[in-house]
Chain A
Amino acid sequence: MVSTPSNALGPTRARQGQAARTPTAWHACRALLRRDFVLAWRRRGELFLPLLYAVIVTALFPFALGPDPQLLGRIAGGVLLVIVVLAMLPALDSMFRSDLEDGTLEQWLLAPQPLALLALTRVIAHWLTTVLPLLVVMPLLGALLDLPAGVLPVLLVALLLATPLLALLGSVLSALAAGARRSGILLALMLLPLAVPVVIFAAGAIAAAQSGMPYLAPLAWLAAALAMAIVLAPLACAAALRIAVES
């Protein structure tokens, strides 16, 4: 697993006193972010797939339930929330898989920077490239489903808090499943129990806003959960990555 030359490289460099050439944590994270953005841009066709999925599913709902604007408006918030969660699923699977296959993850483990920090950087890059476009088209999808205009900001804030949380939780599962032969539906099965509280609080905020009640409490719960997940999920993710890499 560990090739000796690359293992010896770090300490020798440090011993030679070339402090300028040993990248700091900040440099490493920035390099990682840039690499992920370049990779995403080179495969920009794939970036549209979650968007396309969300638009198709949203368009199917009026056909299934009838074009009654009142009915659509009442369920729009919850429907859009579930669509975003489902649209996030396929991309989660590929968060670490290719890096495990080409040996990048082994370099992560050998890097002087903490593994949890690198994992967090990857989650941020993943969220920015695959989830943020979904949030950008949310107003359009909301209009398709006659979402009341006053609810849209609450939906967006709830999604801004819920999707990074889901991406962080999903990163742990993605790291766990990366070493497995097949995942796909397995990832959905593992994400469901973790996603239940997130969906409950996000939907709670939307439902409260829709019925004119105070909606800050569930959003605060989501924000608190996000703050905790930012600290804890990368640590769990790092532990899962170690299991995935060791053979």
Chain B
Amino acid sequence: MSRSYIPHWIHWLGSPPNFYRFAGAWRPWLMAAALAAGAIGLYGGLVLAPPDYQQGDAYRIIFIHVPSAWMSLAIYAGMAVAGLIALVWRVKLAEVIAMESAPIGAAFTLVTLVTGSLWGKPMWGTWWTWDARLTSELVLLFLYLGVIGLYHAFEDRRRGARAASLLALVGVVNLPIVHYSVQWWNTLHQGSTVDLFGRSSIAPSMLWPLLVMALATHLYYFASILGRARTDLLSLESGKQWVRELVEEQPAQRQGAPT
């Protein structure tokens, strides 16, 4: 009974000082990898990939738009999982990860909406249409904003994190309902005018930059969450011994550096 199913390193990583050091060590490498993958992906997408036979060069916005849209959903899922862990097991680190994921996810959602709107103007002739996909993405943005707003409305940050985690879980149930109800609503009024993903296949020369960009956005998210969680842990644990030790050894290093 005392044997745990959870590997030891998860317990080790769940401790704030350990996570602080782990995140500090990994963040630069992840960020460098994200930038490198982003550069390769953008070069492949903007320079190497041929123009589309129908859309010309305008389609190239998908190399930003589609990875952002994937990230907006993936980060929400990650936030909800971290929120569930925070609610059930009261893991402080899970609260931090869930709450620090929300602004990154909201930013990706905003990028998705803005790039989609920029693409929609020349392609569909309008900045915005109440298509099911667009509406769901907009609702997703509001869900993110609600989570961020609720978190910051609390005096006690850990209580705020738990309340916002519960809201994120409610949103997980809500999001598919919104998506299907919006589809139902739009088919009631009029058929979908443009089928964005109607093409059954995408050329390999366009596919690989897209996948590299998806990798880059994932790496960026991990680098970003490590950095954000690191600073958040510092302020949450500001009264603890390990932070005191960290602060006390920091000036010594700084004094050694040339001023």
Residues of A within 8 A of B (CB): 172-173, 176-177, 179-183, 186, 189-190, 192-194, 196-197, 200-201, 204, 207-208, 236, 239-240, 243-244, 246-247
Residues of B within 8 A of A (CB): 87, 135, 139, 142-143, 145-146, 149-150, 153-156, 159-160, 162-163, 166-167, 170-171, 174-175, 177-178, 181-182, 184-185, 188
Say what secondary structure dominates the interface of chain B. helix
Docked-complex contact B154 and A179, CB < 8 angstroms: yes
For A176, A182, A193, A239, the residue with the greatest tally of chain B CB atoms inside 10 Å of its CB is A193
In the complex, what's the smallest C-beta–C-beta distance from B34 to chain A, in angstroms? 30
Docked-complex contact B154 and A180, CB < 8 angstroms: yes
Are A177 and B150 also in contact (CB < 8 A) when A193-B142, A194-B174, A236-B166 are?
yes
Say what secondary structure dominates the interface of chain A. helix
Other A-B pairs, 20, CB within 8 Å; known A186-B153, A208-B188: A176-B163, A177-B150, A179-B159, A180-B163, A181-B154, A181-B155, A189-B146, A190-B146, A190-B150, A190-B167, A192-B146, A193-B146, A193-B174, A194-B170, A196-B139, A200-B181, A200-B185, A204-B184, A243-B166, A247-B159
Tell me the bound Cα distance from A118 to B178 in angstroms. Answer: 29
**A182's closest neighbor in chain B, by CB?**
B153
- Choose one: A179, A192, A239; the contact of B142 (CB below 8 Å): A192
Count CB-based A-B contacts (< 8 Å): 80
Q: Which residues of A contact B150 (CB under 8 A)?
A: 176-177, 180, 186, 190
Q: 9 closest A-B pairs (Cβ-Cβ)? A: A180-B153, A197-B181, A190-B146, A200-B185, A193-B139, A176-B163, A200-B181, A186-B149, A243-B162
Tell me the bound Cα distance from A183 to B150 in angstroms. Answer: 8
Q: Which residues of A contact B146 (CB under 8 A)?
A: 186, 189-190, 192-193
**B162's closest neighbor in chain A, by CB?**
A243
Docked-complex contact B178 and A193, CB < 8 angstroms: yes
Are A193 and B143 also in contact (CB < 8 A) when A179-B159, A204-B188, A236-B170 are?
yes
A–B pairs, 10, beta carbons within 8 Å = A177-B150, A186-B150, A186-B153, A189-B142, A193-B142, A197-B178, A200-B181, A236-B166, A239-B166, A247-B159
